[in-house]
Amino acid sequence: MLIKNDIPILEFDETRDAVINPCDIAKYMGQLGCERLVITFFREVIEDFLSDGKIEKIKTIMGENPYYVYKFKDYDVLIMHGDLGCPAMGGELDEIIAMGVKKVMFCGGGGVLDKSTGVGHFLIVEGAIRDEGFSYHYLPPSRVVYTEEKTRSLIRRYLSERGILYSEGLVWTTDAIFRETKEKVNARREEGAKIVEMEQAGCIAVTQFRGVDYGAIIYGGDDVSGDDWDTRSWRSREDIRQGLVDICREIVLMM
C-alpha cells in the first residue's frame, strides 16, 4: 500500500512486488552458487588478486553498464567492485542477492568529518544518516538506518582479538559530493556522523528489505572537516586497502 505524502520521496509503498524485480534478472543470469560476498571500492586490489591468480571472474552481469563478479579460488567467497552512489550500488546489490548471496561485507573509504580521524582508521558502520533518495524506496522514512547489532558485534570481536584499532559510529550518506557544504558538515558531525560517503544508507536498506546479513567497515580517507578540502593522499594507501579486503573476506566467512 502506498502511503501518500506531499513530498514524493516520503511516499513509501509497502508492497514487496514491483513491476520489475531482481528475480527477473536472476532468471536469465542464473545463480552464483555462493552465499558470501565482499564488496570493495578498491579496484587495484581486485586487479592485483587477478594478476596473482587469487580470484577468477565467474559472472558478467550484462546491461548498459556491465559489472563483474569474481570468486576467491581458495575461499567460498565472492568479491565485486562497488559502484558509486546508492542507485548503482544498491541496485546491483539487490540483483546479486536475487542470485543467491545472503552474507555481505562492504569495505571502502570516505571523507572524515573530524580531522582527528586518521587516514586508514577503521570505522565499523553503526548506521547511516539517510541524506539520499534510494533508501526511501526500500524502508519507511527515518533519519537514520542502522546495521544489525549481531553483525557489528562479530566485527568488533574480530578486530579486537587481533589488536586492530577501530571506532564505531554513524556515516552520512549523500547523493551530492559537490554539495557537502560547511554548514552541513558541521551539522552531520554534531549529529554523530564520523565519515561522509555515498552508499551505506542504500546498502543497509536493501539488505534489510531482503533479509540479508550485512556489515561494513569504512576507513578514514580525505578530510572535509576544515575550510579547505585535504585529500591526505588517501587513495595511495595500498597496504591498508588490501588488508581491509582480507579482513572483510575473513569476517564474511564467520557470518
**Annotated domain spans of the chain:** 33-254
* pLDDT-flagged residues of the chain (< 50): none
- How many C-beta neighbours within 10 Å does residue 24 have? 13
Residue at 165: amino acid letter: L
Helix (H) or strand (E) holding 170: strand 166-174
pLDDT, residue 237, reads 66
Model pLDDT for residues 161-176, shown as the tens digit of each residue = 999 999 999 999 999 9
pLDDT, residue 163, reads 97
Q: 115, 116, 141, 111: which is closest to 129 by C-alpha?
A: 141
Q: What is the CATH number of domain 33-254?
A: 3.40.50.1580
Model pLDDT for residues 116-154, shown as the tens digit of each residue = 898 999 999 999 999 999 999 999 999 999 999 999 999
pLDDT, residue 231, reads 86
Cα–Cα distance between 108 and 245 in angstroms, integer? 9
Cα–Cα distance between 32 and 242 in angstroms, integer? 24
Helix (H) or strand (E) holding 59: strand 55-61
The answer to whether residues 69 and 58 touch, using CB atoms and an 8 Å cutoff, is yes
Burial of 44 from C-beta contacts in 10 A (0-12 / 13-18 / 19+): exposed
Model pLDDT for residues 4-24, shown as the tens digit of each residue = 899 999 999 999 999 999 999
What's this model's pTM, rounded to 2 decimal places?
0.96
pLDDT, residue 239, reads 78
* Phi/psi of residue 14, nearest 5 degrees: -75, -15
